[in-house]
Amino acid sequence: MSTQTDPGRVLTYVDALREAQAQEMARDDNVFVFGLDVDDHRAIQGSTRGLLEAFGPDRVFTTPLSEDAMTGVAIGAAMAGMRPIHVHIRMDFLMLCMNQLVNMAAKSHYMYGGQVSVPMVVRCMIGKSWGQGAQHSQGLYSMLMHVPGLKVVAPSNAYDVKGCLATAVRDNNPVIFVEHRLLYSTEACVPEESYTVPFGQARTVRQGDAVTIVGVSNMLVECLRAAELLVEAGIEAEVIDPVSLVPLDIETITASAGRTGRLLVVDNAWTNCGASAEIVAGVVERASRPVMARRMGYAPVTCPTTPVLEEAFYPNPVTIAMKANEMVRPDMAAWQPDPEHARLAHQTQFRGPF
């Protein structure tokens, strides 16, 4: 379980991310950052700002629009002893380099009998925002969770993103690092010194006894707001952040669901064959008593760009709270919290990346 030990300094998610990269580059000369526009003044929404000035163009450089080839460069560099951080401003673009990731990066360590390591980090952003539409809003990490040899992490706060990135860079195998763009402006207490957050240790963010709610990436924030709404209805929800999806701390989730008897998993993706399905299946296989399980995620359609339809496409604190209430009180009339109580501060602040 990750712990937040330094209450003295507050940092945004994006600043924690940038600081982690800078500290890992200072710690190890083999670490370098590359990807389309990482050296631009916009610098991937600010997440690579200042790295070029600090470490020079040999270690921070842009690339052509050639994701497949550039992934091959990262794999080759990693095999040669470097530790690349390959940045994609959209996770959707990983579809262009799946062969390299799935057939090369993920398998090489096993195929070569452990004599070859591929210590590379693939940073990629997911998430809703201002009508990004069908090809720029997808959370496709479940496709990569399916492949042995790939680790998949999705930190939900500034503390975890700094520690998880350090862990990812130091890992000797490829790590898919998933960042939700709406989290970039959120703040948390973050130590100034370098530290790591281990993979495979979920974090219980809020304790409760009526229902266990698991929120993936930004959905953790939405679930916490839903839990506050549920208090108004007299329901105490336990909220869990899995932090890493591969490896997944299914034991912590199972123990919580065993106590509450109910499990609601809220994902940043479609539910069909997704991370939520894996979490529910893992709990059902291990639970010592029956657990009522439900899943929430994207509506089963392509993401619309129209704001009204986009809003309906994603789970939100109101719909999450309503679903949890329905699970706890199935025989009572439907309950809906006041939508005005559900607004999230970071969502009202976000105005796009530029």
Active-site residue, from 19, 67, 179, 238: 67
Which residues have a Cβ under 8 Å from the Cβ of 9 and sit 6 or more positions away? 189, 190, 191, 192
The SS3 call for residue 212 is strand
Bridge partners, residue 151, by sequence: 175
One-letter amino acid of 60:
V
| DSSP code per residue over 216-245 | -TTHHHHHHHHHHHHHHTT--EEEEE--EE
Helix runs in 60-216, H state only: 67-79, 98, 108-111, 141-145, 158-170
How far apart CA 65 and CA 59 sit, in angstroms, is 19
Helix runs in 106-150, H state only: 108-111, 141-145
Q: Which of 254, 213, 256, 211 is nearest to 234 (CA)?
A: 211
Helix runs in the chain, H state only: 13-27, 51-55, 67-79, 98, 108-111, 141-145, 158-170, 219-232, 250-260, 275-286, 307-313, 317-328, 345-349
Question: Is 326 one of the catalytic residues?
Answer: no
82: enclosing H helix or E strand? none
Active-site residue, from 136, 238, 278, 310: 136
Question: Is 67 one of the catalytic residues?
Answer: yes
Q: Which of 2, 57, 48, 46 is nearest to 22 (CA)?
A: 48
Which residues form the catalytic set?
A: 67, 136
